[in-house]
């Protein structure tokens, strides 16, 4: 096991990258981040006549994420800790799951179904702020496209008192039959409706216009025409002064970890041009239609729009 004392990050990255070429797990001993408060990563600190470079746990977990590893703490000593970097199996990802004819790539038996974004603080915090921003307690008709197992409704349920919740109508659409069955059982009350349906054929459902439209990680799906669908939603499925919350993934889910950076076709690394292009298209379009638009978030970019007509 290698011990790092006052080596620079430049050297540590090179060491780990090299080791990960042949090993699935690497152990390193480093300064215990607990030795001092109020200190920046990179500052020097002297302990028992030895000079260490300080790094926070956040720096170490960032490093682990960059290297496609999961970081574990193996030993806690007074002045040092032993960290394990466990290489992620990149093949273990729903992104690699093949779509089948029954639209079950995201269904109950999929890898995707195991993911609970509401337990990821960077996701939950941004989503909660978006809901507060649109004044969720004043909304009465909420339409969610690509609802999957209805995690987005679950947060609203926790946020709103029951009396108001009972006055709200929730509609969720997804073409995964098993996900819709799961959502129906999860929210059996009459004011929740779930449809197994293709978003491309939304007009067949004769839906009432919503005063809040939510869609997370769905509109950029390969079978959907992003721009046309987005404009159709605003024109035909949103009340005149309705609000919008769109979540754009800027991460990949690999082997149990949420890894920062959008996945892009034909790139071996994260490339974010399509993400920014699509987000900016929506922002511009909505601004022209007199909406106040904010962009927030990290692993999911949230576009939140409220009417200023
Ligand atoms: C990446 S998942 C996001 C699910 C959920 N909003 C979340 O963030 O956990 C995309 C969802 O959209 C659904 N979906 C993709 N294309 C669709 C289409 N054309 N019609 C209906 N649902 C679709 C998938 O079945 C899946 O549940």
pLDDT tens-digit series, residues 280-300: 999 999 999 999 999 999 999
pLDDT at 103: 85
Mutation choice for ligand 1 from 115, 116, 117, 148, CB with most ligand atoms inside 8 A: 148
The ligand 1 site (C-beta within 6 Å) comprises 103, 106, 117, 146, 148, 151, 174-176, 179, 198-200, 216-218, 221, 223-224
**What number does the ligand 1 atom closest to the CA of 147 have?**
6
* pLDDT (0 to 100) of residue 17: 98
Q: Please give the distance, rounded to the nearest whole angstrom, from the Cα atom of residue 189 to the centre of ligand 1.
A: 22
Q: How far is the CA of 112 from the centre of ligand 1 (A)?
A: 10
Q: Whose CA is nearest to atom 22 of ligand 1?
A: 174
Ligand 1 atom with the smallest distance to the CA of 117 is: 9
What's the 81 CA to ligand 1 centre distance in angstroms?
42
Q: Whose CA is nearest to atom 6 of ligand 1?
A: 216
Convert the pLDDT of each residue in 11-61 to its tens digit. Answer: 999 999 999 999 999 999 999 999 999 999 999 999 999 999 999 999 999
pLDDT at 99: 57
- Cβ-based burial of 84 (10 A; exposed 0-12, middle 13-18, buried ≥19): middle
Q: Percent of the chain scored above 70 by pLDDT?
A: 98
Strands 238-249, 210-216: parallel, antiparallel or unpaired by DSSP?
parallel
Please tell me the distance between residue 183's alpha carbon and the centre of ligand 1 in angstroms.
13
Return the number of other C-beta atoms located less than 10 Å from residue 64's C-beta.
21
User: Does an H or E element contain 281, and which?
Assistant: helix 273-288
Tell which residue, 87, 51, 213, has the closest CA to residue 145.
213
Whose alpha carbon is nearest atom 1 of ligand 1?
217
Q: Which helix (H) or strand (E) holds 178?
A: helix 177-186
* Residue with CA closest to ligand 1 atom 3: 217
| Overall average pLDDT of the 137-156 stretch | 98
Nearest CA to ligand 1 atom 27: 148
Q: Say if residue 230's pLDDT is above 60.
A: yes
Nearest-atom number in ligand 1 for the CA of 224 is 19
Nearest partner of 91 among 71, 108, 111, judged by Cα = 111
d(CA 174, ligand 1 centre) in Å: 6
């Amino acid at each position: 096991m290698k011990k790092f004392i006052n080596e620079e990050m430049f050297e540590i990255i090179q060491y780990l990258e090299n080791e990960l070429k042949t090993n699935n797990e690497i152990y390193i001993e480093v300064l215990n981040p607990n030795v001092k408060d109020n200190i920046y990563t990179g500052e020097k600190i002297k302990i028992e006549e030895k000079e260490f470079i300080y790094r926070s746990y956040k720096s170490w977990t960032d490093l682990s994420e960059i290297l496609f590893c999961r970081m574990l703490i193996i030993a806690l000593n007074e002045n040092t800790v032993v960290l394990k970097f466990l290489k992620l199996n990149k093949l273990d990802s729903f992104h690699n799951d093949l779509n089948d004819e029954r639209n079950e790539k995201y269904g109950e038996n999929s890898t995707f179904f195991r993911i609970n974004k509401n337990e990821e603080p960077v996701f939950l915090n941004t989503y909660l702020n978006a809901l507060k921003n649109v004044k969720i307690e004043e909304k009465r008709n909420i339409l969610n496209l690509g609802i999957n197992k209805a995690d987005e409704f679950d947060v609203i349920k926790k946020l709103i008192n029951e009396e108001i919740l009972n006055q709200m109508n929730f509609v969720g659409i997804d073409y995964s039959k098993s996900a819709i069955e799961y959502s129906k059982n999860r929210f059996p009350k009459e004011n929740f409706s779930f449809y197994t349906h293709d978003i491309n054929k939304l007009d067949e459902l004769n839906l009432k216009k919503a005063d809040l439209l939510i869609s997370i990680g769905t509109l950029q799906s390969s079978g959907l025409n992003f721009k046309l669908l987005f404009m159709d939603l605003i024109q035909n499925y949103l009340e005149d002064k309705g609000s919008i919350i769109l979540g754009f993934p800027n991460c990949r889910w690999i082997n149990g970890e949420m890894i920062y950076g959008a996945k892009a076709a034909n790139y071996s690394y994260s490339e974010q041009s399509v993400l920014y292009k699509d987000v900016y298209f929506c922002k511009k379009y909505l601004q022209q239609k007199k909406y106040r638009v904010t962009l927030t978030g990290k692993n999911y970019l949230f576009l939140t729009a409220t009417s200023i007509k």
